[in-house]
């Protein structure tokens, strides 16, 4: 993909420009982009630099603005999405990660739901531990009734999340955690065996050292009622563990977090125990804490095939300064969050482009040399981020909860931030940087990118293009073959040393994935977000061994995904044969449905949506004013949608085609822009399906926005074609 120079700003790929325009750049009331990427980075730099005045009213803010601006426009650091979207704008909420407490009372549960809505509206994701909620059928003394249990309450959180649309830029995401010793643990483990349930949640079982020990010894472990603290019953640990393995093998849910490992690294144990993480699992947090993240683009510190550690040090120090400033200029969605966040001042500096760095220095991802590079780079970032934080503390003071923390000792008298490092899934920000995501291997050497007019553009990894041209084996036909197969490993004409270097996520044995995660975790304060990819042929035993390897190597959690294991996902890049032609089923004699009025630029549009026992089967619409070309087009659209529905085409596939079609006269309805009559019909169909007849599932192999193949990354789903991300 050819890079483009934006006005007075960074060198960006075409794909980066598409994502920025769609999701990040400021727009006016007509949905027109009103700032360039350079303007965006200037806006962010200026807003974040204002924190200087808190500590020194005479500070040279312009100099700090220039340093932050250069850091971002050189794409050396890209902050998390809420910072790019909201800094210097009215909302001003800059954090991506939040954890909220859920106590054992109706009041606490619904207070948490309210706070969740406020956070999602501001662009953040939320994590919860439901381990304090009494189990299903337990006593409720105030009413003499019985509890419905944590899982039933999670469905309420899920519905609330579905309802909140994060300003049209980010979709709500949750992490739900339950301890393995909770009486409802088995029900929680199997809660997502049906892929249509709790689609706004990632689920993780909180596993303890005691459980692992009992499992390895073939013994039992105790379930404990959180209301009474008393033993509920005893279960065979190995049977429960196998249930976790089986469910993860089936569809990747639930993941696991190793709770005791997390709390061994809790920097402020005197403040409280960590019970939950953010949605992608990389950020363990105390209740009401938030954390702002930023990722260093490692490709920018490679010079002549070597890592430039002097350059990396400079980037780390400026990045720590930037992220610490974000804490002060942030507008927090809740006063409790501001209080807890500023008490510990956690930041999460991570990396992206690690796979591209390895390729640039000639190291295969699945090699001992790659593990050594992981530890070398991350240990350096860890050490320098601590030094930078200590230097800030000398000027600005230690974080308030420093007394009693793990840093409260003579050799570390200064520390500004309770944590400094996190490896996050970089999703859309790695698209902006034009590099590989997080610490993941490259997803594809070559792929087809969908563009707005429905055409497909061939994208080739820039280093692979450079090498293949230099070695004389490049051709468009070869690149298309690679795009279809998704790998170079079985293609003739490519030198073996090139194949060894360009391994994709699905080419790599899961053991190397886990070893890479563990190598980064060794030098990371918080946690590491990574997806462990398994081929479709992987067995339950493979998954079981992966969990135990991750635990034994010191990982704080694990997310696995077996290729093709979810019903509505096609993650293989290889093209499938054309489906056979089908005839629509007859229109049923009786249907039932609703009619919804939609505002359009042509007038009021009345959309009728009908269903029968087999699901939604019919859409037709009529304009409030009779006659004209518009009505004939509307009638044709409705007939074709109905024909497709009765032919077995899934509603989400139809929506991907007609939602977003734009006419010259878009209008607003209930805070959402209706772009055309076709878009209005799509929105009405989408709302109808979500009400219970058909559920739009974002967790699909095809991107719900553009139809391209999505990637699984650290519990998140990302489309590198258009920038769609379930988690941002």
Closest C-alpha among 475, 464, 472, 469 to residue 498: 464
Reading the block at residue 587, the tokens are 């229109």
The alpha carbons of the chain give a radius of gyration, in whole angstroms, of 26
Pick from 548, 566, 550: which is nearest to 558 by CA?
Answer: 550
Q: Which of 86, 174, 266, 278 is catalytic?
A: 278
Query: How does DSSP classify residue 419?
Result: -
Residues in the chain: 728
Residue 722 annotated among the catalytic residues of the structure: no
Residue for token pair 């258009």: 722
d(CA 694, CA 588): 18
Query: How far is the C-alpha of 387 from the C-alpha of 367, rounded, in Å?
Result: 31
> Distance between CA 522 and CA 377 in Å, rounded?
11
- Secondary structure (DSSP) of 688-727: HIIIIIS---S-SSB-TTT-PBPEEETTEEE-TTT--BS-
Given 97, 247, 280, 706, the catalytic residue: 280
The Cβ of residue 208 has, within 10 Å, a number of other Cβ atoms equal to 17
- Residue 467 and residue 478 in contact, taking contact as beta carbons nearer than 8 Å: no
Exposure string for 295-320, b = 16+ CB within 10 A, e = fewer = bbbbbbbbeeeebeeeebbbbbbbbb
Of residues 282, 699, 711, 713, which has the active-site annotation?
Answer: 282
User: What b/e string do you get for 363-390 counting C-beta neighbours within 10 Å, with b at 16 or more?
Assistant: bbbbeeebbebbeebbebbbebbbebbb
Annotation says 278 is catalytic: yes
Q: Is 304 a catalytic residue?
A: no
At 426, list the tokens.
Answer: 């970089």
Instruction: Report the distance separating Cα 35 and Cα 17, nearest Å.
Output: 12
Burial readout 98-131 (b: 16 or more C-beta within 10 A, e: otherwise): bbbbbebeeeebeebbebbbbbbbbbbbbbbbbb
Mind telling me the catalytic residues? 278, 280, 282
């Amino acid at each position: 993909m050819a890079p483009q120079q934006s006005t007075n700003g960074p060198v960006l790929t075409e794909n980066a420009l598409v994502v920025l325009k769609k999701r990040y750049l400021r727009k006016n009331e007509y949905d027109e982009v009103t700032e360039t990427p350079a303007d965006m980075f200037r806006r962010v730099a200026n807003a974040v630099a204002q924190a200087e005045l808190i500590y020194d009213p005479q500070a040279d803010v312009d100099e700090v603005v220039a340093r932050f601006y250069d850091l971002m426009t050189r794409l050396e650091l890209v902050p998390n999405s809420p910072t790019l979207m909201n800094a210097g704008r009215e909302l001003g909420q800059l954090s991506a990660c939040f954890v909220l407490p859920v106590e054992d009372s109706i009041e606490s549960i619904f207070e948490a739901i309210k706070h969740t809505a406020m956070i999602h509206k501001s662009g953040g994701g939320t994590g919860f531990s439901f381990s304090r909620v009494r189990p299903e059928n337990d006593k409720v003394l105030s009413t003499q009734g019985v509890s419905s249990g944590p899982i039933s309450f999670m469905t309420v959180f899920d519905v609330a999340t579905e309802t909140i649309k994060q300003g049209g830029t980010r979709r709500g995401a949750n992490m739900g955690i339950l301890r393995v010793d909770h009486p409802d643990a088995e029900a929680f483990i199997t809660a997502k065996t049906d892929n249509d349930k709790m689609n706004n949640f990632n689920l993780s079982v909180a596993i303890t050292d005691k459980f692992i020990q009992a499992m390895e010894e073939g013994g039992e472990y105790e379930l404990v009622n959180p209301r009474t603290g008393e033993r509920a019953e005893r279960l065979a640990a190995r049977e429960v563990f196998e249930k976790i393995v089986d469910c993860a093998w089936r569809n990747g849910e639930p993941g696991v977090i190793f709770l005791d490992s997390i709390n061994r690294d809790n920097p402020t144990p005197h403040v409280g125990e960590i019970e939950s993480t953010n949605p992608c699992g990389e950020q363990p947090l105390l209740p009401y804490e938030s954390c702002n993240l930023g990722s260093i683009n490692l490709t920018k510190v490679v010079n002549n095939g070597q890592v430039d550690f002097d350059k990396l040090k400079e980037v780390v120090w400026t990045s720590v300064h930037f992220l610490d400033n974000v804490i002060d200029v942030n507008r927090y969605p809740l006063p409790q969050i501001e209080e807890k966040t500023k008490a510990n001042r956690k930041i999460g500096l991570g990396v992206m482009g690690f796979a591209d760095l390895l390729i640039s220095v000639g190291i295969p991802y699945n090699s001992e040399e790659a593990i050594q590079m992981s530890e070398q780079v991350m240990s350096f970032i860890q050490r320098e981020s601590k030094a930078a934080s200590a230097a800030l503390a000398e000027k600005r003071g230690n974080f308030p909860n420093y007394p009693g923390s793990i840093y409260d000792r003579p050799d570390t008298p200064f520390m500004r931030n309770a944590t400094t490092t996190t490896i996050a899934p970089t999703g859309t920000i790695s698209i902006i940087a034009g590099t590989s995501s997080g610490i993941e291997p490259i997803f594809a050497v070559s792929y087809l990118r969908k563009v707005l007019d429905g055409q497909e553009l061939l994208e080739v990894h820039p280093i692979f293009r450079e090498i293949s041209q230099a070695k004389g084996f490049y051709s468009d036909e070869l690149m298309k073959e690679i795009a279809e197969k998704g790998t170079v490993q079985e293609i003739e004409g490519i030198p073996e040393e090139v194949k060894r270097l360009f391994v994709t996520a699905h080419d790599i044995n899961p053991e190397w994935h886990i070893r890479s995660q563990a190598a980064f975790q060794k030098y990371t304060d918080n946690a590491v977000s990574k997806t462990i990819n398994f081929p479709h042929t992987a067995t339950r035993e493979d998954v079981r061994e992966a969990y135990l390897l991750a635990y034994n190597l010191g990982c704080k959690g694990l997310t696995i995904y077996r290729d093709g294991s979810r019903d509505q996902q096609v993650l293989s890049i290889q093209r499938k044969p054309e489906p056979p032609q089908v005839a629509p089923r007859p229109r049923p004699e009786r249907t039932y449905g609703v009619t919804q009025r939609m505002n359009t630029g042509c007038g009021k549009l009345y959309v009728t949506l009908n269903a029968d026992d087999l699901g939604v089967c019919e859409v037709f619409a009529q304009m409030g004013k009779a006659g004209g070309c518009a009505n004939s087009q509307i009638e044709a659209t409705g007939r074709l949608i109905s024909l497709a529905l009765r032919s077995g085409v899934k509603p989400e596939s139809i929506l991907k085609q007609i939602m977003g079609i734009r006419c010259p006269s878009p209008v607003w309805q209930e805070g959402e822009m209706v772009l055309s009559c076709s878009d209005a019909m799509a929105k009405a169909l989408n709302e109808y399906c979500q009400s219970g007849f058909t559920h739009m599932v974002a967790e699909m192999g095809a991107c719900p926005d553009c139809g391209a193949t999505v990637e699984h990354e650290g519990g998140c789903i990302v489309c590198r074609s258009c920038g769609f991300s379930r988690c941002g």
